[in-house]
A and B are shown apart, each in its own frame.
Chain A
Amino acid sequence: MERPFAITLDVGSSRANHTGSWRVERPVYLDYLPPCNDACPAGENTQRWLYLAESGSYEAAWRALVEDNPFPATMGRVCFHPCETACNRVKVDEAVGINAVERFLGDVALDKGWELPRPGSAADGPARPGTASGRRVLVVGAGPGGLSAAYHLARRGHQVVVADANAEAGGMMRYGIPAYRLPREVLAAEIDRLRPLGVELQLGHVVRDLAAERRDGAYDAVYLGVGAQLARRTDIPAGDSGRVLDALSLLRAAGDGSIELGRRVAVYGGGDTAMDVARTARRLGATDPVIVYRRTRDVMPAHDEELDGAIAEGITVRWLSTIDRFEGGKLVLERMTLGPDNKPVPTGELEELEADTLVLALGESADLSLVEGLDGVQVHDGSVLVDASMMTGAAGIFAGGDVIAGSRTVTDAIGHGKAAARGIDAVLGGEVRAPATRHELASFERLNTWYYDDAPRTIRPELDRIRRQSSFDEVFGSLDETNALFEARRCLSCGNCFECDNCYGVCPDNAVIKLDGAQLDGPPQRRYVVDYDFCKGCGICAAECPCGAIEMIPELI
């Protein structure tokens, strides 16, 4: 068609005008550290597996999860989820029920029989098929830390033997956590899943001389994860009639069904273990378990939901009380007040409490006899000292979990095991990996919360339910898939692009390119790139990014 000069123009011609030259700031996509990931002691990439779960890709989500933690079904029941405490969604409405989703994924995996990744497949480890490293590692203690270390070592191609004095694996998970919180078959199934990786479990194997074991077994390295087994005691005068147990003994015996407690049970202590004991006692027939705690609720170490769960089950607490003596079926308590620094101060006032059994839940200490006499291993204040790679002062001997200082949770131990595996691998492979640089934290202030939808009113109660059931009660059984899915979808994806297309849509200059699976020189590309030929630097993309993954950077002119 003959077109009139100048008056009529052809499409596409404006692309000759590169408006990028107007720009004084450029948008740049960055990945920030989500607070959930930041808070996870096990180092889980929580946001990543939530992202996968959001689309119903449960297996992919589970696979992303077990990159860091081989026990999702267990963690989904026993973890105190610091991720949820850190979750930015708290400031919008309520934290995402990460723990509930984790449990759901763990249960689905067990149900479907998904297998852990093969040896040699560690995402951040060397590519070695099977046990090609030829290196042997002894793990002492089949608790969460030891099993985590074993898992991650096996995935790095090392041959792992786990020795444990008990008849069953699991350590504190098996012997210290009541079955109503963690059904034994769930734990057993998750532990069994380690065997195909080549992890050899030597149960009933008591390690007494570590140096000899190491030498005889030709182990190149050792991970020490024996946990804290020694109950702390306090000196309570007790007559003949008073039956005094420690918490671990009770919990262990409860698992076997080999204990009679009587009707009236008192528990002395204020940690989660005290709650476990009281609730276990109730399940064993105690009608009115009482917790005796010397301070007040706001300083009690037990997690709120544990205490709330106990109270909901009819357990009472004697606050600001110590036990003076136990005699004739009676506990004599002394009233306390809180002094400076929340220290309890005796008042001299006494009162009585009827009790058949007193259970001391005052914490546990690590049995460090194994490391006594080992060259180089340093102990301080009852804990083994380790460096950043979890190695003790003795070459090739690593430690984690309750034997080292710090938080004593299952999740921490799993994180220690993973870190130690990386450290051991570095030693055995002669390769020292620099830790990945930690990205800047994705703060709440980075978010544009307008874009996050609210749950429809109809399903909110159910969501609340799954959030709340996360640790204590198996009454609800398996989670409802739809609700777990929606819970996952409440994730804000703080600081990391989740492909919402906002930047692509809101650019007035079409200067954001949606890759949409484009294949240039490799795998399909996701997310977006800025076309700096046309980006004028208005900043709308950054302002309207829901998750704050775009930063405006000044152009250097």
Chain B
Amino acid sequence: MRRDLLPTDAVAAGGTPEAADTGAGTSGAIGDDPGAGRQRLRFYQVGSFAVGNRLADPSQRTVQSDATRSNSLDSGHRACQGCGEALGARYALDAAMRAAGGQLVAVNATGCLEVFSTPYPETSWRIAWLHSLFANAPAVATGVAAAMRVKGRSDVRVVAQAGDGGTVDIGFGCLSGMFERNDDVLFICYDNEAYMNTGVQRSGATPSAARTATTEAIGPDPGAPFGQGKDLPRLAMAHGIPYVATATVADLHDLEDKIERATLMRGARYVHVLVPCPLGWGTASADTIAVARLATQTGLFPVYEAKNGSVTSVSKIRRVQPVEAYLGMQKRFAHLFGTPGRPDIVARIQAIADDSIARFGLLDSHAGEPAERGAR
């Protein structure tokens, strides 16, 4: 595809509203924080944090609150109890479906999401969906996008999705190619930080010190080694593509907003979604969203968006937490705690979180609200 034919602005008329706050009134929201394109529903009992809001204007409601949402990923799939990826995939694709007016094709890399959704003779997908291989989802999506383009179906939006292995490791070659060509594909990575489908082995996205089946918590340096890690959102930004964003299953409004915005843009777009894995992380199945939330509130998983290679907005930490709060609820970090534990390693992880907070400016500079401050 030719770069000069790929405007990076929104295709749909009007795009997404940059500031959705309306004035105070009985049916509108009031707000003092328009953010950077983020819709904020202030003070409607649950504000922008819960899935729904019966008091919000219908145009401001989430896709997931809609009784007629597309349920792109249908019931009956075989994901584990409390699967963050199943949740994240439905969140993302339902949002993309709404943004694309139902004109959506999804390409899926091999991995948990593919395996639990399409074991013959049952598929959980209610959308046009294609699985080819582990490493090639970006390229297959490029092909689909090319086909749509040549057939004059510019209304059809193409999404490719993969886990962290299919994105940061084996799929990275194809992904980088898709990025540098600025192909008209939205690539969504569901990052659960290891190869979960094959039994929890380390990937390039596995955090330092985490126990996996190939980085056992044994010896003087237990768990995954400390290294640079493969920070794919920033690598994506380095390609200068029109849109890069991170999100988690703990903030639906933010996730939907980003997916909808990304769906409507042209060119290569990348959204990296943190999706906790109860099996691989050793968390209770009920805690999937809670642990994702802590990943953001510790600063370990910065939530931001970038346009054309530069960060344009960050989600500020609302109730900052020490990394122990996050690590302590996951068995993959259990070797860091107890007696004697490894406070030295915890301190290194805290330093990583602090760096992330500083790099992205995750803490609000204003005085803030006392009730919002956690122990730190």
Known contacts A9-B118, A546-B46: does B78 contact A505 (CB below 8 Å)?
A: no
A92–B319 alpha-carbon span in the complex (Å): 13
Cross-chain contact A19 with B75 (CB below 8 angstroms): yes
Cross-chain contact A539 with B284 (CB below 8 angstroms): yes
Chain B positions within 8 Å of A504 at CB level: 51-52, 64-65, 67
A-B pairs with CB below 8 Å: how many? 200
The answer to whether B71 has its CB under 8 Å from any CB of chain A is yes
Nearest residue, chain A, Cβ from B62: A505
A531–B74 alpha-carbon span in the complex (Å): 13
A93–B43 alpha-carbon span in the complex (Å): 14
The answer to whether A491 has its CB under 8 Å from any CB of chain B is yes
Q: How far is the CB of B215 from chain A (nearest CB, A)?
A: 27
Known contacts A55-B55, A457-B32: does B118 contact A546 (CB below 8 Å)?
A: no
A19–B48 alpha-carbon span in the complex (Å): 31
The answer to whether B47 has its CB under 8 Å from any CB of chain A is yes
Chain B positions within 8 Å of A499 at CB level: 52, 54
Nearest residue, chain A, Cβ from B73: A510
Of A71-79, A275-283, A445-453, which binds chain B?
Answer: A445-453
Cross-chain contact A501 with B76 (CB below 8 angstroms): no
Q: How far is the CB of B181 from chain A (nearest CB, A)?
A: 29
Known contacts A500-B51, A538-B286: does B45 contact A493 (CB below 8 Å)?
A: yes
Cross-chain contact A456 with B30 (CB below 8 angstroms): yes
The answer to whether B288 has its CB under 8 Å from any CB of chain A is yes
The answer to whether A540 has its CB under 8 Å from any CB of chain B is yes
Known contacts A19-B76, A539-B82: does B45 contact A491 (CB below 8 Å)?
A: yes
The answer to whether B311 has its CB under 8 Å from any CB of chain A is no
A492–B46 alpha-carbon span in the complex (Å): 8
Chain A positions within 8 Å of B284 at CB level: 539
Cross-chain contact A14 with B123 (CB below 8 angstroms): yes
A93–B122 alpha-carbon span in the complex (Å): 50
A507–B25 alpha-carbon span in the complex (Å): 33
Cross-chain contact B76 with A17 (CB below 8 angstroms): yes
The answer to whether A249 has its CB under 8 Å from any CB of chain B is no
From A459, A492, A508, A546, residue with most partner B Cβ within 10 Å: A508
The interface on chain B, measured as residues whose beta carbon lies within 8 A of the other chain's beta carbons, has a size of: 66
Interface residues on A, range: 35 or more
The answer to whether B50 has its CB under 8 Å from any CB of chain A is yes
B87 interface neighbour in A18, A481, A506, Cβ under 8 Å: A506
From B44, B51, B293, residue with most partner A Cβ within 10 Å: B51
A96–B46 alpha-carbon span in the complex (Å): 14
From B32, B46, B48, residue with most partner A Cβ within 10 Å: B46
Cross-chain contact A510 with B90 (CB below 8 angstroms): yes
What sequence of 0s and 1s flags, for each residue 483-507 of chain A, a beta carbon within 8 Å of any chain B beta carbon? Answer: 0011001111100001111101111
Known contacts A500-B53, A540-B288: does B45 contact A14 (CB below 8 Å)?
A: no
Cross-chain contact B120 with A455 (CB below 8 angstroms): no
A-B contact pairs, 27 of them (CB 8 A): A17-B122, A18-B76, A450-B49, A456-B30, A456-B42, A481-B26, A482-B25, A482-B26, A486-B43, A489-B55, A491-B45, A500-B45, A502-B51, A504-B52, A504-B65, A506-B51, A508-B82, A508-B83, A508-B90, A514-B65, A537-B81, A538-B278, A538-B288, A539-B286, A543-B286, A543-B289, A546-B50
Known: A15-B76, A501-B65. 4 other contacts (CB 8 A): A13-B122, A19-B77, A505-B62, A538-B286
Q: 3 shortest A-B CB distances, which residue pairs? A: A501-B52, A453-B47, A505-B51
Which residues of B are in contact with A by a Cβ distance under 8 Å?
24-27, 30-33, 41-55, 62, 64-65, 67, 71, 73-79, 81-84, 86-87, 90, 117-118, 120-127, 252, 278, 284-290, 293, 319, 369, 371-372
